[in-house]
Amino acid sequence: MIQNPISLQEVRIADEFWSKYEELVRGTVIPYQWEALNDRVPGAEPSYAIRNFRIAAGLEEGEFGGLVFQDSDVAKWLEAVGYSLSSHPDPELERLADEVIDIIVKAQHEDGYINTYFTIKEPGRRWTNLLDCHELYCAGHLMEAAVAYYQATGKRKLLDAACRYADYIDTVFGPEPDKLQGYDGHQEIELALVKLYKATGNEKYLRLSRYFIDQRGRKPHFFIQEWERRGHIGYWRQEPTGEPDLKYNQSHLPVREQDAAVGHAVRAVYMYSAMADLALLDGDEELAEACRRLWSSITEKQMYITGGIGSTHHGEAFSFDYDLPNDTVYAETCASIGLIFFAHRMLLLEPRSEYADVLERALYNNVIGSMSQDGKHYFYVNPLEVWPEASRHNPGRRHVKPVRQPWFGCSCCPPNVARLISSLGRYIYTAKDDTIYAHLYIGSEATAPLSCGDVRLEQQSSLPWDGAVKLTVRPEREQRFAIALRLPGWCGEARLAVNGQAVDYALEHGYARIERVWSPGDTIEWELSMEPLLIQAHPYVRANAGKAAIQRGPLVYCLEEADHEAPLSSIALPGKPVFRLRRDPGLPGHPVVIESEGNSDAVADDPRLYRPSMKRSKPVRVKAIPYFLWGNRTPGEMCVWIRS
């Protein structure tokens, strides 16, 4: 079954947990990131992004600053603004965005090209290093921003500029002998062109996306040919380099032949998202099957319990199956956001609860955990174990930060978080023909278009702290249709009632599907059990041997040094711990924390580095807090996996 998303304009979030994040992004994050993009945050690394556009537009003089892909930060910020304006009109924010759009359009070349690096620093060198220089990546983010802003405001200025750019790109790339038969080193334009096609109906953009996907990995390999044309010189090192690692950019094989997630994690999931888009639009079962294989490769063998992916800081990449170290982990925020994009598109392709389970896992843990509760500090890397001393002094762990940073020289993650949370409404429901699917339990109001007419839904949810969910159904008139509720993988059992009467249910691919004649005001109550669970890893995950993690509902929990004596590695849970739940007023949002009795290796007075085993321990109280809240108190150790 093929499904359709429900328009973001048709969903309003009203949720005790998530509305605070929406307001944080709208009231703090978007304004703060605007200041950062303008280099006005004291103590933060400069962005140069807005300044670059002003120079390219002829409004200032100066040199290009930042990384070669710095333009993309502005585009993602504009995309977040578009999503925010969809649900919360703000004339002042819209005026500010219009000013930025005016600058971007002034920086656009006559032929449609937009890129401040190649306008300011290397004019005449366009498309000479697609492997490294992210031109199409930046173009893709601009297209996504243009679509989001047009859908929110109806204003076409940025959309028309993006279409002019896409039209120009179509004259440069393609299978024809007189065109460049290549693709970008960092995938992004592929999924952006699909969005541009949906917004405009122009088949050219869909064909171009299909070309970039189909061309990738074909022999002779484009990146090797390009490298040879450049005399083996790369961008990051202006000296001869070795042959490009084709797996790093997922260009080692045609995409339909790939069956393992390899290389840079963000690039991979952005590409897989576009593949799923095209599989859906084209009815391409071969492409859909490749998506399923790659999904399994990630989620069954290469994903952290927090929804993080990309285990090594060498290339921000996947390494190999079951290699999931906790202390040297990378798990870039952007990679989890890309995994959410991929999961959402797989849900559109086929409604299976496993996709929504992963989407929820990444959202509630890795993504919101990457941002501080004040909205002004961020993790780029999302570890599952932190020893601050090692982060300071061990070169192999310096990428692991014990505290969030105000900004980054490469600041792709903060605006990515902003655009995801601002568009959260699109991930809650989908609809197809006569069925509405509820994937996430987030308090909201939505209008779902069904073949029988529009249906209004009102959801009340007490997640993530409690498992009570209530939906009120308001069709235009009495109608027969179905509502399918996801049974989360973390839920042992669930009780279902319709209009106060308990009903039995059967599961279809993890969804409880209720088909009946619905009347306006009918209610569904979905009570999900939320007992704390001790989770074990596959035995091949050597980093977690003899350890367990605590999960309750969608939340993974962790220990922090603020609640325990260091080292946390000395703490152990009993074989069958008795968990106690309580609200903690000392933490932001008064979350549910989980406590248990445990043991800690006794701190010996013996100063020897190694000594005969004494098997001594002392009882301790173990307190686990939601992972997304770690790092909001005094800096110290943190761990997710606990000896058990």
Contacts of 388 (CB under 8 A, 6+ apart): 402, 635, 636, 637
Nearest to 334 by CA among 31, 76, 583, 608: 76
| 289 annotated active-site | no
Write the DSSP symbol of residue 542: G
3-state secondary structure of 255: helix
Write the DSSP symbol of residue 530: -
Residue 15: CB atoms within 10 Å: 21
- The CA-atom distances, in angstroms, between 10 and each of 183, 467, 536 are 35, 25, 40
- Helix axis angle, 49-56 to 71-87, nearest 10°: 100
Locate the DSSP E strands across 395-450.
429-432, 435-438, 444-450
Contacts of 269 (CB under 8 A, 6+ apart): 298, 309, 335, 338, 339, 341, 342
| Strand-pair category, 479-486 with 435-438 | parallel
Alpha-carbon distance of 299 to 324, in angstroms, equals 12
Alpha-carbon distance of 315 to 223, in angstroms, equals 17
**From 412, 413, 558, 639, active-site residue:** 412
| 412 annotated active-site | yes
* 418, 25 contact by CB (below 8 A): yes
Alpha-carbon distance of 491 to 554, in angstroms, equals 9
Alpha-carbon distance of 527 to 498, in angstroms, equals 12
Contacts of 453 (CB under 8 A, 6+ apart): 475, 476, 477, 479
Nearest to 386 by CA among 637, 642, 643, 641: 637
Q: 257 exposed, middle or buried (CB, 10 Å; 0-12, 13-18, 19+)?
A: exposed
Tokens linked to 330: 């990378």
3-state secondary structure of 488: coil
Phi first, then psi: give them for residue 170, nearest 5 degrees: -65, -25
**From 79, 94, 316, 360, active-site residue:** 316
Tokens linked to 358: 């992963």
Nearest to 413 by CA among 23, 29, 17, 8: 29
* 89, 143 contact by CB (below 8 A): no
- Active site amino acids: 316, 412
